[in-house]
Structure 1
Amino acid sequence: MAARNTAYLLVGLLALLHTWGVTAHVEVEMEDRVEVFRGETASITCMFTSSEGVGGIMIQWFFMTQTGEKQRVFYQDPTGTVVDKGTFTDRISVNGTGATGEIVVTISNVQLDDELEFICLVKGLTAGTAEGRTKLKVFVLPDFPTIEGVQTGISLNDGPSKIGTCEVKNGFPWPNITWYRNNAPLRGSPDVLKVVPSTTVESSGLLSVKSELIMKVMKEDKDDLFYCEVKFFVPGAVRMTETRHINITVYYPSTAVNVWVESPKGNIKEGDSIELQCRDNGNKPSSILTISDETGENTIDSNVLVLDNVTRRNSGVYQCVSMDMDTYEEISGNTTVFVNYLDPAAVMPNNSVVVAQGMELTATCNALSSLQTQIVWLKDGEAVSMGNSLILKDATFDSAGQYVCVVTVLEIEGMETSGTLHVEVKGPPEIMKPDDTEVEESFGTTVDLTCNVRGFPTPSVTWTTSDGKILPPASQIESWGEVHSVVSIKVTSDITAFCNASNDFGTDLLTYNIAAKGNGFIIAVIIVCILLLAILGSVLYFLYKKGKICGRSGKQDLTKEKSSKDNIVVEMKSDNTEEAVLLGVNGEKQPPSHQGGAYLNVQK
């Protein structure tokens, strides 16, 4: 009865309100979309207002299935709350009671299937009904994109050909692929360029996109770089990444051939090794390069030709031919090779020449060369003349010797030749005087005397002493009109030695004076010995007269005529011709006729 009365009361109230002209209403506000990464938590908020207040409000949550049907997940009225079991069991929760004008549905561990449209329906007792809708968007980052170019070359004669493939896998929602060439995006053009996309839904529900580029290539494309730009969506933004850059091989026919000498750089000389190379401006694998000379003796099916130890005969035109084996068309290029040469030096007079002292000699040196030469005459390693002529005026023995003519090509390092000329100057011997010919040596030592002689014909050399003795040389060397002779002499007294040189034109003489040191001391010793002998003889004679020796006794007859046998004579004489002293037994000086040596004579 009370319920019926309440119902009548409400109907009466509504009629009264209608009579008064007042209109009740409900308003609902929701976000258009909520975006989250897969596995995150999504919160969907429903805010509402009602002219009736919130006391009699009924709230329901629905989502639209993939087939377009509404499915409720939540119900609330003044009498209670119900969460429907189903798709979001254990993952959905609702916060708020509606008393505040806001209610939030929270979905945890969002999955791809949760990408649905959610509806918040609010109904008042008399204010009518209002609803709001929010789409839940789920995102998954894709794998890094890949690109693969064609492995084979593409010919200009071919039509549109596959350039490469770009692919990005396991993203959500669909990634977008754009092709670039040299930083410029490629757009489709009939019969020239086409981009063919394809998509795949993986078993996981993730999305993969593949894109193929098909294009008619041109020669300029051989240096182009191709890559893909991939754009994909994330919550609240769009991101972009690029693949690596690739190039393609474009086959195009040759229009020109170039051939050149790779080494040596610069001028070529005989004896060098030459490497010739050629290249055409095409790159078709069916083209063949052939290098050959004018004679055809040196031909090779390659772009490299090597010639070792070349001569001037290798000079000439070398040709490189490029043949397209598909069309048998030929194009060629050539280059000229010149091998520089330098003939051996020719010296006139040839080998050797003899010139008289005081006369003049002119010699020439020439070498045929492909380049300008420089000629230098050397003697003993020093330059003595420049140019192809050598002039020796007023020839002397100093002019004799070996001359070397060196011919050099200045433009090419190491390119030179040489010839020799031996000059003999004929004349009498000439002994080259030593610094000192007065030699003083100790008694008993050995001294080496040297004699250097020049002349032509080669002089003969002999050694002699002042007493006519011939001394054999210890060594004697003869070469190029010169004689080097050495003699060894043992010093036993003062010696004078002679070096005698002679040939057909005259003689020359060198004198060495050797003084023996220590000679006066020996003479002094000899004199002392002689004096001692003389004194000993006098003493013996005196004792003999006194009868002290030999059995004699008594006085001797001093008046007895002296016999020549009883005389004792001692003579002392030095090498310096001092005055000789002759002593008799009684100390008397003997006549000068007894001089001439040192001796002892005892007479009885």
Structure 2
Amino acid sequence: MYRIALLTCLLTVSLMNQVSGLETVTGKYGDIVEIPCNNGRVVETEVTFVKWKYDKDGNILVKHRDQNATVSSDVNYKERVGIKKDFSLFITQVSMADQRTFTCMVVGTADILEYPVQLAVYKVPSQPQITNLTTVMAIGKLTTLAQCRSEGANPAANITWFKNKTPLMTDGAAIKITTNVVVDKETGLSTTSSTLEYTAVKGDIDAKFTCQVQHIKSANVDSSPLVFTVNYPTEKVNLQVVSQGPFKEGDNVTLKCTADGNPPPSSYNFYINGEKKTVNSNTYTLTNVTRENTGEYKCSLVDHEDIVSSVAITVEYLDVALSSTGKIVKKLGESLEMTVDVKASGTTEVSWKKGNAKLNSLPKFDNLMYSDSGVYECVASMADLKKTLTFELVVEGSPVIKNLIKERGLGMTKVLKCVAEGFPKPTVQWSVNGSNDESVSEPGKVTYSLTIAPNDNLTVSCTVSNVLGSDIKSINVSSLVEDVKMDKQADQKDEYSDQTVMAVGIVVGLMLAVLAIGVAYWLYMKKFREGSWKTGEKEDGSAEESKKLEENQSQKADV
């Protein structure tokens, strides 16, 4: 009885001296937690015994000085508790049931003290889990996108939704976020779920949505990004020409109609030459186009024909016509003027060639010659279009012999050459037999050669003819023996002539020499007489001698 009275007294004193503050210890769910007794400031030598209890009547264990601790039979703690040297209580496998007030009662020799400690148990939440996920949003329509869930937390986790890393807030109209927290009755842990309802706009295409789990005892954790398909009606269409232009007649042209809606329409109306054609595709191909296909083309939605787009197509064309084509036959001396008619969708260039030679202008002939014959080519071009037309000019004329000559051949032969003009090429007929040959030096001109060995003098005729007429010429041809005689006579005549010329030259030279001597003598005598007159002296000899002398001088001068 005494002992009970003593304990009662000590407890009363303890309650009177108890402080009003309450210490709190935090423990992690499932771990070991240590609850201190008076923050570890209890001295063992001053204590009779220490008792740990919980709540109002729950006993855990008692520790007497110098004795082992005695654990109560409380099913909640008999397998999970212990006491340390400083009288701290430790509990293993802490759960939410352990979140209560534990009291350390210290009984000393003089008084009884109690130190209550509040145990708070926390547990970090699980990773965010996405459920009830949708895949498509429609513009202007409030749609439940997904639910974000985090389980097994204490205290309960918080969930925040983000779009492109910007937090979303409930506005009650375009955005609704509903959060719910459920506590498990067995574990006492909380599960937080958050449902996002969202009204999409066109700018939400490719937007990334995430949910973030937030907890006071852990870092924030984000879910994987969520990307939704945004459906919206078509507001406009666009018609494009897929084929590469410019287009020319005979090409294929493909049109493509695209819409800005999602999903895109599966069929379109194409307006071809004013006629509506509905196709289950977004393309339409014009095959083998002509210039009549030039114009405006349209496409529209099948169910909204007022949503329309158009594009213009131009089919380039080039038509070239010559006044004459094929083979043109003209007579020598006639005239010919070619004309070219060009019709095209743009600016063209026209060039002419005769064979491989480029001409500076369109062919025009006032007086056709054989050399004008040939193949003429007209090339008209515009952008990538090019057309070529040709004609062949043939100048015809009856044959005419322009020259008939003879030449010395090899050995005892002579070569006759008959040069003729005409087309078609004339045939030749010689009046004598021989070795024939021919050569064409230029259009309409041919040289026929005949090699003969004449034994006598003869006359040879050359006859040329074609379908338009004929011509004939003759030439005298001497034998080779007669030519040799004539050559010798010519050589003798040349020799006699040379001798005559030499004789005449000698006589003329002598006459000139005599004349020079006479002139010199005359000049001498004249000078001599003039000198006598000047001195007044008379010449020696009589007048008769003087007269004879003058006559002699005169005769010499005549010779």
TM bracket (short chain): 0.5 to 0.7
2:308 corresponds to which of 333, 342, 353 = 333
CA distance in 1, matches of 2:298, 2:232: 24
Give the TM-score normalised by structure 1: 0.59
2:34 corresponds to which of 31, 43, 46 = 43
Change (3 A) 1:272 1:120: same
Indicate whether 1:459 and 2:446 are aligned: no
Paired residue for 2:87?
Answer: 103
User: Aligned residues: percent identity?
Assistant: 19
Indicate whether 1:84 and 2:75 are aligned: no
Change (3 A) 1:245 1:51: closer
CA distance in 1, matches of 2:434, 2:97: 142
Change (3 A) 1:208 1:462: farther
1:256 corresponds to which of 229, 236, 241 = 236
1:419 corresponds to which of 377, 389, 392 = 389
Give 1:7 shift: 13
Farther-moved stretch of structure 1 (372-381 vs 181-190): 372-381
| Structure 2 segments unaligned to the other structure (5+ residues) | 402-406, 411-418, 448-461, 474-559
Alpha-carbon contact 1:292-1:319 (below 8 Å) kept: yes
Indicate whether 1:310 and 2:289 are aligned: yes
Aligned pairs for 1:518-537 (under 5 A) are none
Give the TM-score normalised by structure 2: 0.63
CA distance in 1, matches of 2:269, 2:42: 99
> Any idea what the Cα deviations from partners look like across 1:184-209, whole Å, max 9, x if unmatched?
21111123321123455679946543
CA distance in 2, matches of 1:150, 1:272: 48
Alpha-carbon contact 2:131-2:148 (below 8 Å) kept: yes
Change (3 A) 1:195 1:238: same
- Find the residue that maps to 1:368 and give its secondary structure: strand
Aligned pairs for 1:52-451 (under 5 A) are 54-64=45-55, 71-78=58-65, 80=67, 81-85=69-73, 86-96=75-85, 102-108=86-92, 110=93, 112-113=95-96, 115-125=98-108, 126-140=110-124, 142-146=126-130, 149-154=133-138, 156=140, 158=141, 160-169=142-151, 173-199=155-181, 205=187, 207-222=190-205, 224-234=207-217, 237-252=218-233, 254-264=234-244, 266-283=245-262, 289-296=268-275, 298-300=277-279, 302-324=281-303, 330-355=305-330, 361-381=336-356, 383-385=358-360, 389-391=362-364, 397-410=370-383, 413=384, 415-426=385-396
> Any idea what the Cα deviations from partners look like across 1:40-66, whole Å, max 9, x if unmatched?
4333333458899851354232345xx
> Any idea what the Cα deviations from partners look like across 1:284-304, whole Å, max 9, x if unmatched?
778963111343165535432
- Find the residue that maps to 1:103 and give its secondary structure: coil
CA distance in 2, matches of 1:114, 1:507: 143
Change (3 A) 1:144 1:195: closer
Query: What amino acid does structure 2 have at the position aligned with 1:363?
Result: M
Indicate whether 1:34 and 2:26 are aligned: yes
Give 1:82 shift: 1.5
Paired residue for 2:535?
Answer: none
Alpha-carbon contact 2:44-2:65 (below 8 Å) kept: no
Name the structure where helix makes up a greater proportion of residues.
Answer: 2
Give 1:180 shift: 1.6
Alpha-carbon contact 2:422-2:445 (below 8 Å) kept: no
Farther-moved stretch of structure 1 (51-60 vs 205-214): 51-60
Number of residues paired by the alignment? 439
Give 1:36 shift: 3.0
> Any idea what the Cα deviations from partners look like across 1:144-174, whole Å, max 9, x if unmatched?
5336642345253x4x332333334555553
Give 1:346 shift: 0.5
CA distance in 1, matches of 2:273, 2:235: 23
Change (3 A) 1:439 1:58: farther
| Structure 1 segments unaligned to the other structure (5+ residues) | 19-23, 97-101, 432-436, 441-452, 486-498, 510-604
Alpha-carbon contact 2:137-2:143 (below 8 Å) kept: no
- Find the residue that maps to 1:344 and give its secondary structure: strand
CA distance in 1, matches of 2:351, 2:90: 107
Query: What amino acid does structure 1 have at the position aligned with 2:322?
Result: V
Query: What amino acid does structure 2 have at the position aligned with 1:87?
Result: N
CA distance in 1, matches of 2:429, 2:113: 155
Query: What amino acid does structure 1 have at the position aligned with 2:424?
Result: T
Aligned pairs for 1:453-492 (under 5 A) are 457-460=423-426, 467-468=433-434
Alpha-carbon contact 1:28-1:49 (below 8 Å) kept: no
CA distance in 2, matches of 1:465, 1:33: 149
> Any idea what the Cα deviations from partners look like across 1:16-54, whole Å, max 9, x if unmatched?
xx9xxxxx968899962334364x433333345889985
